[in-house]
Amino acid sequence: MFTIITGSQFGDEGKGKIVDLMSGDYDLVVRFQGGNNAGHTVKVGEDVYKLHLIPSGFLLDSRVLIGPGTVVDPEVLAEEMDMLAEGGIELSPEKMGVDAKTSIIMPYHIELDVMREAKRTEKIGTTGRGIGFAYIDKVARDEIRMADLTSKDKLLQRLSELAPSKEAAIRELDGNPGIVMDEQLIDKYVKLGERLAPYITDVSYEVNKALDDGKSVLAEGAQGTHLDVIHGTQKFVTSSCTIAGSACANIGVGPTKVDSVLGIVKAYITRVGEGPMPTELFDDAGKQIQTVGGEVGTTTGRSRRCGWFDLPLLKKAIYLNGYTSIALTKLDVLSNLDPIKVCVSYELGGEVLDYPPEDAADLAACKPVYEDLPGWENDLTAVKSFDDLPQAAKDYVLYLEDKMGVPVDYISVGPAREQTFRK
Ligand code: GDP
Ligand code: IMO
Ligand code: MG
């Protein structure tokens, strides 16, 4: 069985939580794109894990893999491994693997990301983790790969070939070109390479072999559909393909192997960083959602922008991902809001649109058209089944399910693993 999970909105839909929950049924859990711009929170009992790179399936019995389409900051990976080890979770090479072809985020990628963003008059609001510049180098065939880190000679040879152009790029942005060939940094990366060497694997082979042997694989997306580098709200996007088809291309597994695609959908919408968001709220309802939902970025600590559910954007996400079912998260956060609004279409230049326009500036100019639904006052965080939801909450779920045309499989009413039930 091969299942792909992706975020349907602008990220932070609760992918980590749902992956943790589902991982019990999967032999392999694979991150296929992005890097430590992601922040996935998993809560089990009193333990809270905030992860940026290690796939969220590490707690149960699955083997977790970091695929060749990701970009890896080896220092962050090592820190996450140490953090888990402190809590008694040792990730041995039997438990975790990293593909040999994974692109490494080098210190100069981070420097370039931060300097470039500082120089932009119209900001993107990147996470400053070097993601975009690491992907530029992958496509330009100038990347350092995981396998290059395992020997100082290999790394030095590769770096000396790349150094002139990297130093020039940093100089042009008024950064510090000295970091490209800094001896201490190189030694640090060689040590990280030595530590990670036993984890190096061929993810595509492992996934295909597992599927051939009748095992099950879960692909864990990062970011969200509308942050996709091709189909998102350019230029306010991340630098990888975040949609479901990307899992096949990035892992190296044929689309004929996919059995199901689960979309993670927040009961409202949030966005971190810049870019259009037609239903963004600037009123008390927005503040309430922000506070009750704890909508603060896991990676950068920025407040997430909050808005009402946006059906046109969700319809596009359903087209782009081909969702076979949906997990609706954070329903509990909408308690004590009345009415609850749902954006069913946009008005743009005198026209009514029920599908987002292609251009980000047009999307930014769209005025949401809302339908009002009755709210509920009850606290939902202890609810254990669909039948036990208050009628207005049931109606909200059924309304969204009808409008989306995709079955809601899971409903989540709190951050903990236990606060999820099948519809
Ligand atoms: P991801 O990036 O998609 O994995 O999502 P994040 O982990 O960045 O953000 C989701 C946040 O909401 C995390 O802090 C989760 O612990 C929390 N969360 C997930 N599901 C629910 C839910 O149903 N209700 C509430 N109140 N919090 C949730
Ligand atoms: P998860 O996996 C929300 C946003 C950044 C910025 C844009 C580009 O936790 O859902 P980048 O550093 O990727 O070049 O920044 O993308 N962004 C995210 N927003 N959740 C994420 O990941 C994100 N990863 C990147 O805020 O607007
Ligand atoms: Mg997140």
The CATH number of the structural domain formed by 265-321+329-422 is 3.90.170.10
Alpha carbon of 391 to ligand 1 centroid (Å): 24
Angle at 56 between CA 17 and CA 381, to 5 degrees: 15
Question: Which residue, by CA, sits nearest to atom 21 of ligand 2?
Answer: 223
Cα distance between residue 103 and residue 128, in whole Å: 17
Q: What is the average per-residue pLDDT within 331-347?
A: 98
Residues 388-400 pLDDT 10s: 999 999 999 999 9
Ligand 1, residues at Cβ distance < 6 Å = 7, 11-17, 39-41, 43, 293-294, 298, 329-330, 332-333, 412-415
Nearest CA to 101 out of 251, 309, 322, 245 is that of 251
Residues 48-77 pLDDT 10s: 999 999 999 989 999 999 999 999 999 999
Residues 77-92 pLDDT 10s: 999 999 999 999 999 9
Per DSSP bridges, beta strands 28-31 and 269-271 are unpaired
197 is written with which tokens? 């060497």
Could you identify the atom of ligand 2 that is nearest to the CA of residue 7? 10
Average pLDDT, the chain: 96
Query: Would you call 226 a catalytic residue per the annotation?
Result: no
Check: CB of residue 170 under 8 Å from CB of residue 111: yes
Q: What is the average per-residue pLDDT within 132-151?
A: 96
Among 127, 330, 333, residue to substitute to test ligand 1 (most atoms within 8 Å of Cβ):
330
Q: What is the average per-residue pLDDT within 131-136?
A: 98
Alpha carbon of 300 to ligand 2 centroid (Å): 10
**Domain 2-98+199-260 -> CATH class:** alpha beta
Alpha carbon of 238 to ligand 2 centroid (Å): 6
Q: What is the average per-residue pLDDT within 282-297?
A: 95
Query: Would you call 99 a catalytic residue per the annotation?
Result: no
Cα distance between residue 397 and residue 413, in whole Å: 12
Ligand nearest to the CA of 33: 2
pLDDT band of residue 301 (cuts 50, 70, 90) is: confident
Single out the catalytic residue among 12, 73, 113, 332. Answer: 12
Is the CB–ligand 2 distance for residue 143 below 6 Å? no
Question: Which residue, by CA, sits nearest to atom 23 of ligand 1?
Answer: 330
Among 15, 218, 329, 384, residue to substitute to test ligand 1 (most atoms within 8 Å of Cβ):
329
Q: What is the average per-residue pLDDT within 234-262?
A: 98
Single out the catalytic residue among 20, 25, 27, 40. Answer: 40
Q: Which residues make Cβ contacts (< 8 Å) with residue 122, sequence separation at least 6?
A: 274
pLDDT band of residue 41 (cuts 50, 70, 90) is: very high
Question: Residue 22 is inside which H or E element, if any?
Answer: helix 15-23
Question: Which residue, by CA, sits nearest to atom 16 of ligand 1?
Answer: 415
113 is written with which tokens? 């990301």
Alpha carbon of 339 to ligand 1 centroid (Å): 23
Is the CB–ligand 2 distance for residue 222 below 6 Å? yes
Cα distance between residue 48 and residue 296, in whole Å: 15
Alpha carbon of 216 to ligand 2 centroid (Å): 28
Q: Write down the residue that tokens 């927040």 correspond to.
A: 266
What is the pLDDT at residue 325? Answer: 98
Residues 157-183 pLDDT 10s: 999 999 999 999 999 999 999 999 999
What is the pLDDT at residue 278? Answer: 98
Among 131, 138, 269, 272, residue to substitute to test ligand 2 (most atoms within 8 Å of Cβ):
272
Q: Is the pLDDT score of 299 beyond 90? A: no
pLDDT band of residue 242 (cuts 50, 70, 90) is: very high
What is the pLDDT at residue 248? Answer: 98
Percent of the chain, pLDDT > 90? 97
CA distances from 204 to 65, 199, 208, 214, 258 (A): 10, 15, 6, 16, 14
Alpha carbon of 347 to ligand 1 centroid (Å): 31
What is the pLDDT at residue 95? Answer: 97
Is the CB–ligand 2 distance for residue 59 below 6 Å? no
Provide the residue ranges of all domains of the chain, joining segments of one domain with +. 2-98+199-260, 103-196, 265-321+329-422
The CATH number of the structural domain formed by 103-196 is 1.10.300.10
Q: Is the pLDDT score of 300 beyond 90? A: no
